[in-house]
Structure 1
Amino acid sequence: MARMGGRCQCKEKSTDAFVRYKNLEPALCLELKKIVEAMKSPGKGILAVDESPATLDKKFQEMDITSTESIRRDYRQMLLSTDKTRLNKCISSVILHHETVYQKTSDDVEFIEFVRQKNLIPGVKVDKGLVNLFGTDNETTTQGLDELQERCIQYKKDGCHFTKWRCTFSISDSQPSYLAMLTNANVLARYASISQSARLVPIIEPEILNQGEHGINRSRQVHEEMLSILFRTLNEHRVYLEGIILKPSMVLAGLDHARYCKPQIIAESTVSALQRTVPAAVPMIAFLSGGQTDEETTLNLNAINQYEAVKPWTLTFCFGRALQVCCIEFFELT
């Protein structure tokens, strides 16, 4: 503190938002913010076509289609060949699987370039799937942190601008355990910081499954506890919050009680849980569909956006199945 001219003046500390992110350069933070701004264009959401080959194999087997790399390529190419004007009206960006990133279309165009030609921002799923979490009752964590930085650097060079990582939680009287929530929060935070260091915006997906007999109040309690732990951990890892996208579940009752929950109740529970846990610095929340039908996800997302409350984030969607049902049925007929 210095005294000048009879007045007490304090040395001003910088209020620059970048000060606390000593692991990130200001230019990098600005780049992350610009990517998020482009992804959260008004009225648009994110299309997730990042299913693993094994997941698509199961879908195709149900339709008596032999799954091959070229068949998976053709399906995703068809999905993204929607009329450009209509596609751009609703979709800002696309999450791809590693396989798709390095494929070419039937016209010999690199898939990343094909996505860019549609005026869409390409991204990639970087986690390597769920594994059992020892010390818990069949709870899971997600693998893939080994060599993640090297992979992210390469994805950025190859044209991707964001990444996605998913952890899951089940609800019961005793789950999710504190160990599962804390472990997965640290995994998500490590992933996010690594992704940002490679100039890629991390989509953080802590999916709370709606399988079970729990009511919506129990679901909201779990969402609030899990998100509180997650954001405390993200701050401890110095993750730049203005440069992330949160991809949570809507607050839903278990499947046995879902029919009793109207969209307005889901909206109130979801928004209140977010208000209590998600900082206003987070620019965008893109909900996953979480096993709901395309109609249910549309009605519930609309109710969330119509719900009158303070909502400092852009609220939109990051759907996979809810946007693909009609397309996969059409693909079966072709």
Structure 2
Amino acid sequence: MGPKQAGELHTRGLEGLAGRCAPFHTKHGAAFAKWRAVFRVGAHTPSKAAIRRNAKDLASYAAAAQKCGLVPIIEPEVLADGDHDLSRAVNASARVLRGVFRALKKRGDVDVGAVLLKAAMVTPGSSAAEAVTPEEVNVCVCVGGGAGHDAQ
């Protein structure tokens, strides 16, 4: 059930993570740890499969970290690489975030209220044809869930 589209990635290294995390908390006093998953934006990406797989992996990481006494920081990073416009970036980010929180809730062993989300600014791709103003980015980020501009 891995990502299907060319260039899509998924996280690796979750096997045995709880065992590797425990000493950092108990012996070294670590309080938190971060796990990152990246999502490419394109005409057909991020795919549902990539969102599902990476969201499930981020939720698995969060569960392992919490079992070890660590506060999990999850970073579902929607990459700015590409020529996608702001609308496509907002859509991709919203789909990714919905998928991540759906996976966290579905697990049943993650205290979602004790998970930190490392969110990024939603912007058009770094090679986008049209530039946007900071105000346009702000409107999309603040309203992005499908509500209209009047919802501000």
TM-score range, shorter chain: 0.7 to 0.9
Q: 2:88 aligns with which of 210, 213, 218?
A: 218
CA distance in 1, matches of 2:130, 2:83: 12
Paired residue for 1:143? 12
CA distance in 2, matches of 1:135, 1:246: 26
Q: 2:114 aligns with which of 240, 243, 247?
A: 243
Paired residue for 1:272? 143
- Output aligned runs, 1:30-69, within 5 Å: none
SS of 1:257's partner is coil
SS of 2:10's partner is strand
Structure 1 gap segments, 5+ residues each? 1-132, 278-307, 310-334
Question: Cα deviations across residues 124-161 of structure 1 (Å, max 9, x unaligned)?
Answer: xxxxxxxxx56431211111111110111111011110
8 Å contact kept, 2:37–2:77: yes
CA distance in 2, matches of 1:214, 1:260: 11
Paired residue for 2:99? 229
Larger mean Cα displacement after TM superposition, 180-189 or 247-256: 247-256
- Output aligned runs, 1:1-334, within 5 Å: 133=2, 135-157=4-26, 158-238=28-108, 239-257=110-128, 260-273=131-144, 276=145
CA apart distance, 1:179: 0.5
SS of 1:202's partner is strand
Letter in 1 for 2:51: M
CA distance in 2, matches of 1:141, 1:134: 7
SS of 1:252's partner is coil
Question: Cα deviations across residues 245-290 of structure 1 (Å, max 9, x unaligned)?
Answer: 11122110011238722222212211223xx49xxxxxxxxxxxxx
8 Å contact kept, 2:39–2:78: yes
Alignment length, in residue pairs? 145
8 Å contact kept, 2:85–2:130: no
Letter in 2 for 1:264: E
Q: CA RMSD in A?
A: 2.0
8 Å contact kept, 1:252–1:258: no
SS of 1:204's partner is strand
CA distance in 1, matches of 2:72, 2:143: 24
CA distance in 2, matches of 1:204, 1:221: 20
CA distance in 2, matches of 1:236, 1:205: 18
Letter in 2 for 1:156: H
Larger mean Cα displacement after TM superposition, 230-239 or 186-195: 230-239
Letter in 2 for 1:204: I
Question: Cα deviations across residues 17-43 of structure 1 (Å, max 9, x unaligned)?
Answer: xxxxxxxxxxxxxxxxxxxxxxxxxxx
SS of 1:142's partner is coil
CA distance in 1, matches of 2:70, 2:129: 36
Question: Cα deviations across residues 289-328 of structure 1 (Å, max 9, x unaligned)?
Answer: xxxxxxxxxxxxxxxxxxx95xxxxxxxxxxxxxxxxxxx
Runs of 4+ with >6 A deviation: none
Letter in 1 for 2:123: L
Question: Cα deviations across residues 192-235 of structure 1 (Å, max 9, x unaligned)?
Answer: 01111111111110000111111101111111111111111110
CA distance in 2, matches of 1:210, 1:263: 16
CA distance in 1, matches of 2:116, 2:129: 27
Which structure's residues are more often strand, by fraction?
A: 1
SS of 2:92's partner is helix
CA distance in 1, matches of 2:128, 2:6: 24
Q: Tell me the TM-score normalized by structure 1.
A: 0.41
